[in-house]
Amino acid sequence: MNIWERMQVIDRRWVYLMVALAVIIPFIIPMKFPISITPETQSLYDAVEALPDSSNVMLVFDYYPSTMAETEPMAVAAARHFFSKDCRVITLSNIPLGGPSMAENVTRLIAEEYGKVYGVDYVNLGYKYGYVSVLKGMGQSIESIFPTDNSGTPLSELPIMDSVVNYDDIAFIFEVADNATADYWIAIVNAGYGVPMGVGATAVMAPKFYAFVGAKQIVGLLGGMKGAAEYEILIDQKDAAFKGMDIQSLVHLLIIGLVVMGNVSFFFGRRKRSREKS
């Protein structure tokens, strides 16, 4: 058995070990791979930057805890950008498993950084079952769908909601998602009510959302950890996603190398087999 044939039957655990090393090494030795800004991230940043100060905006936490590594840096960066522009941030979630509590944790943490007050500068509406009815219902009245915030305080007692009745009063929606609810925000809220939207999607979902950018249904897109890292660079707050990109780049190089080696070994192995047959 020559080297090419041996490579084709390599135990998958060696690959796992190589990936583990590629993840751990940048922790010890930072590599500082360059990160370029994509037009989709830039246009999303520009759209938020162009909002008048103190606009009412929605930051939607439509992701499960399992994808926090990708999505939370997007939500954190978006919250920082909104608060830095003194926007009034309304958060909600269509995800029952952890959505409202993640919205609570992220916004409270970032609000403290910017000295923002709950109920005045931001509010967490929490979760309601049935996202299609929720999204449609908020077009009539947000209070009819969320009579109280996540902690049970009536919205009528929160000053931030004085100027907000429905989507007409929302200047921008930033949807951070790891599932199909983002499609419904686009199909129902953007198409139906014309509210400008930006989407932060997991990398697995990102290719699909380029079509929405092309169709101008969303102003921009953050695709996975790379998108989050780009946004962190643009708002000048390098954080978790930026730090993770060193590892991403190294693992990607490793996987590219493995794909090339796998293909080369396959073709050389095939040539040897056909030579042996003849």
Separation of alpha carbons 219 and 240, rounded Å: 24
> What are the angstrom distances between the C-alpha of 47 and each of 39, 195, 242, 262, 265?
12, 12, 22, 43, 48
Interaction between residue 129 and other proteins (CB under 8 A): yes
> Whole-angstrom Cα distance, residue 234 to residue 78?
11
Q: Which stretch binds other proteins (CB under 8 A): 85-93, 155-163, 246-254, 268-276?
A: 246-254
DSSP state, residue 203? T
Q: Under rule CB under 8 A, how many of the chain's residues touch other proteins?
A: 48
Contact between 154 and other proteins (CB under 8 A)? no
The 10 Å Cβ neighbour count of residue 231 is: 30
Torsion, Cα 221 204 65 105, to 10 degrees, reads -10
The C-alpha atoms of residue 105 and residue 19 are separated, in whole angstroms, by 32
* Least distance in angstroms from the C-beta of 93 to other proteins: 12
The verdict on 248 binding other proteins (CB under 8 A) reads yes
Q: How far is the CB of 189 from other proteins (least distance, A)?
A: 9
- Nearest distance, CB of residue 2 and other proteins, angstroms: 28
Binding residue for other proteins (CB under 8 A) from 27, 144, 154, 272?
27
In the stretch 206-245, what mask flags binding to other proteins with x, by CB under 8 A?
A: xx---x--xxxx-----xxxx-------------x---x-
From 190, 197, 231, 234, residue interacting with other proteins (rule: CB under 8 A)? 190
Q: What distances in angstroms separate CA 111 from CA 125, 129, 240, one per listed residue? A: 16, 27, 18
Phi/psi at 191 (5° precision)? -70, -40
Using CB under 8 A as the binding rule, whether residue 258 contacts other proteins is answered as no
The CB-of-8 to other proteins minimum distance in angstroms stands at 20
Residue 37 touching other proteins (CB under 8 A)? no
Binding track over 97-116 against other proteins, x by CB under 8 A: x-------------------
**Residue 81 or 128 with smaller CB distance to other proteins:** 128
Cβ within 8 Å of residue 72, ≥6 positions away:
63, 102, 106, 240
